[in-house]
Structure 1
Amino acid sequence: MTRSTTDEAAAPPLPSPKERRRLREAKSLTEQQVAEAVGVTRATVRSWETGRTSPRGRKRALYARLIAPEPKPKAEPKVKRPPMPPPVSGPEPASVIAAGPAPASAPEPVSGSAPATASGPVTASAPPVPPVPAAPPPPPEPAPATPRLSPDEAFDALYAHAAPGLVRQTYLLTGRRSLARESVERAFQLAWHRWPEVAVDRDPVGWVRAAAYEYAISPWHRLRRVHRQPDAPPSEPARRALFEALLDLPPAYRRTLLLYDGIGLDLPETAAETEASTPAAAGRLEVARAAVAERLPELAAAASPAEQSELLHDRLGGLARAEHVPAPAPARTVRTGGESKARLWTRAAIAFAALLIGATALTLHTAPTHYEQPISPPERVGGVPPRGGPQKLTAQDLKLQKSLKEQPAHGPERLVPRIP
């Protein structure tokens, strides 16, 4: 146990599953190439990039080294040159002179007399005053530290920022207002349960969006009477056509179209969030656009895919803003509701486990230690003659018995007695 714990602690850290896929595609590596380099199958690499599993041991180190981003070249450090001394008018100061070479034939002046020069004696003057060094600039004031938010405050800020938009997006995905609100609240409750993981994620809104979409398109909602039929479509013909075209698409194609053209994700991110390969996501996008273009003539008349994407972005945004989608519950209500539900499920699991343990203990205490064959119940038997004993001998029987005793016979004759 100690060795495995030490190995896990020394293992290189890995980025999030979405970041793993982005790094691999940034290096133009396919899943098959990564699988051959690490020594696993292609399905294993895909499970690493979707977050279902994570590599361990030597394979983890190889995988981390393979997708690690290339280090940026370090900039050469700038050599700071010493500042040049300021120019001084007149005789040089003592400090500068001391730093320079001393003259070879400079006679020392006699005290009380001025030094002689070629032009004659020079009157004595006051000694030069060295310049006052400039005061160093004051250190820059430190930037005010950003106050750290508590987990509750950070969750509330994320909820207030992303929840209303996610409800409208989920409505376009399902066509049901109540299901859209329920899906977003359920996704945020799941995010609050896993807040240490969500708080450090590269895209927390994307994490919650993926959870909400997965819950919204679950096929189990068909068994609920409330969500069997979609809500009434918009009254405007253009929006009604777009609404019906979206609901006619399969859920995977609808989700791909909404992520790429509605939200504006790029193709690799769309493929990663829908757990599909990039070519598969591109194929779904083309099929979905073609199906929607049959209902919207202006989309079919677009000259390029870029114009189609921009037009779809505008139409999906207008449809989401025009519909009256219910506002999500307050963040505190979602947090407390999720905590209450978690406590309820925990208590139910504990009660069920205790009941199971009690039933097992009672069974072990009362069950027999060996097998006892059950006794068959009595039954009345019919058709059997009554039980009888030996009958009283007649005179003829007595006479025959007496003759057999008096006349013993040997051989076969004894079997046929002679009766007088």
Structure 2
Amino acid sequence: SAAGAPAPEHLPEAHTAHAPDPAATPDAAEPGAAADRTPRAPGAVADGNAAEPGADGSVGRPAPLTPEEAFDLLYTRTAAGLVRQTFVLTGRRRLSREAVERAFQLAWQRWPEVATDRDPTGWVRAAAYEYAMSPWHRLRPAHRHPDEPPAEPERRELLTALHTLPPPYLRTLLLYDGLGLDLPETAAETEASTPAAASRVLHAREAVAERLPALAAEGALQDALRALAAGGPAPDPSPAKDVRTGCERRAEVWTRVVVVATALIVAATAIALLTSPGHYEPPMPPTRQVEGVPAPHSGPQRLTAEDRKLRDRLAAEPAAGPERLLPGLG
């Protein structure tokens, strides 16, 4: 929690003294996005645009990249490093690769927003971290257990110690000490306040130093984290074209699902309108008598004059004789 957390200036000076050197560690600084924070125009996400010669042979302004070229350049430069970083968070190579590909698919889906962001790499990194650290992956059989730890004892011990930290602490420590982000940027990416991010960094350092006393020295944990995030087996991410195609195919599938669901709703509404009554029929009051139906008689009916005559005749005649067999004779 942020309560009682030290102010940002109370953090140790090891971070400033051991700032990452992009020239010395290109893999570690590649996805960190701490070197260039200037806003970019769409189509100019990364450097390296080919310059077009002018009519007089002089080199003019760089030719703007198409959205596909800019996305492919960003993916080529940062995907491998992001997979290594995500592996530090999860310990699962397959999940790390899946998280990075999903993050880039989301970036291609929202490319105008990502291309104009001040830090496109940070945008994709945040999306990959969020996907990789989702607790729902524990329910998937393929990601239920972590992969085999690295063969090197130092890397294996550090990775084991890192995975004992709570996920928010591990993520904050990786961003601040592993990638070299400053404290406000780390707090913004982890959606925490600056004092809370500082507290997480300090507590994470203490927990790792308690398990690995050799990393308690100033700058030792930062160097080990950068080496862990930049090293390891080289990942093999999918080609950028396949990522863009997968994103477009996923969007097409969801579009078809929405169209089919909308058509079913419209059909069900039309059937309900056709089969429903066209006017309101008020319910019959419970005490109202049904008209047109004769009321039932209670008890025997009253005898008519003819019925009484027949009754008296039957009572006066004898009970046996031909008169009973041949009525009305004699």
User: Would you call these one fold, judging by a TM-score over 0.5?
Assistant: yes
- Residue 387 of structure 1: CA displacement? 6.4
- Residue 219 of structure 1: CA displacement? 1.8
Superposed, 1:19-30 pairs within 5 Å as none
- Residue 237 of structure 1: CA displacement? 2.9
| Residue type of the alignment partner of 2:204 | A
**Which residue number corresponds to residue 417 of structure 1?**
none
Whether the 8 Å contact between 1:183 and 1:213 is mirrored in structure 2 is yes
Matched, 1:189 2:98: no
| Residue type of the alignment partner of 1:323 | G
Matched, 1:358 2:299: no
Deviations 1:61-94 (A, max 9, x none): xxxxxxxxxxxxxxxxxxxxxxxxxxxxxxxxxx
Deviations 1:35-83 (A, max 9, x none): xxxxxxxxxxxxxxxxxxxxxxxxxxxxxxxxxxxxxxxxxxxxxxxxx
**TM-score scaled to structure 2, two decimals?**
0.66
Cα distance in 2 for residues equivalent to 1:195 and 1:261: 29
2:248 to 336, 339, 349: 339
Structure 2 portions without partners, runs of 5+: 1-7, 9-55, 285-297, 313-330
**Which residue number corresponds to residue 316 of structure 1?**
225
**Which residue number corresponds to residue 406 of structure 1?**
none
**Which residue number corresponds to residue 180 of structure 1?**
96
- Residue 322 of structure 1: CA displacement? 4.6
- Residue 357 of structure 1: CA displacement? 1.2
Structure 1 portions without partners, runs of 5+: 1-24, 26-139, 375-385, 396-420
Cα distance in 1 for residues equivalent to 2:248 and 2:157: 41
Superposed, 1:203-214 pairs within 5 Å as 203-214=119-130
- Residue 242 of structure 1: CA displacement? 1.0
Matched, 1:153 2:66: no
Matched, 1:277 2:193: yes
- Residue 371 of structure 1: CA displacement? 5.6
RMSD: 2.7
**Which residue number corresponds to residue 177 of structure 2?**
261
RCO (CA 8 Å, sep 6+): is it higher in 1 or 2?
Answer: 2
**TM-score scaled to structure 1, two decimals?**
0.53
Matched, 1:298 2:218: no
- Residue 149 of structure 1: CA displacement? 1.1
- Residue 325 of structure 1: CA displacement? 5.3
**Which residue number corresponds to residue 166 of structure 2?**
250
Cα pair distance change 1:143/1:322, threshold 3 Å? closer
Cα distance in 1 for residues equivalent to 2:185 and 2:59: 36
Whether the 8 Å contact between 1:256 and 1:284 is mirrored in structure 2 is yes
**Which residue number corresponds to residue 237 of structure 2?**
328
Whether the 8 Å contact between 1:238 and 1:296 is mirrored in structure 2 is no
**Which residue number corresponds to residue 276 of structure 2?**
367
Whether the 8 Å contact between 1:260 and 1:266 is mirrored in structure 2 is yes
- Residue 296 of structure 1: CA displacement? 1.2
Indicate the structure (1 or 2) with the bigger Cα radius of gyration: 1
Cα distance in 2 for residues equivalent to 1:229 and 1:322: 22
Local SS of the residue matching 2:61: coil
**Which residue number corresponds to residue 379 of structure 1?**
none
- Residue 248 of structure 1: CA displacement? 1.2
- Residue 312 of structure 1: CA displacement? 2.1
**Which residue number corresponds to residue 171 of structure 1?**
87
Whether the 8 Å contact between 1:177 and 1:325 is mirrored in structure 2 is no
Cα distance in 1 for residues equivalent to 2:113 and 2:104: 13
Cα pair distance change 1:250/1:372, threshold 3 Å? same
How many pairs align? 239
Superposed, 1:1-20 pairs within 5 Å as none
Cα pair distance change 1:210/1:144, threshold 3 Å? same
Deviations 1:288-343 (A, max 9, x none): 1111111211112x1xxxx2xx3223212333455335311000000011011111
Cα distance in 2 for residues equivalent to 1:196 and 1:224: 33
Cα distance in 2 for residues equivalent to 1:276 and 1:154: 31
- Residue 271 of structure 1: CA displacement? 0.4
Cα distance in 1 for residues equivalent to 2:58 and 2:246: 42
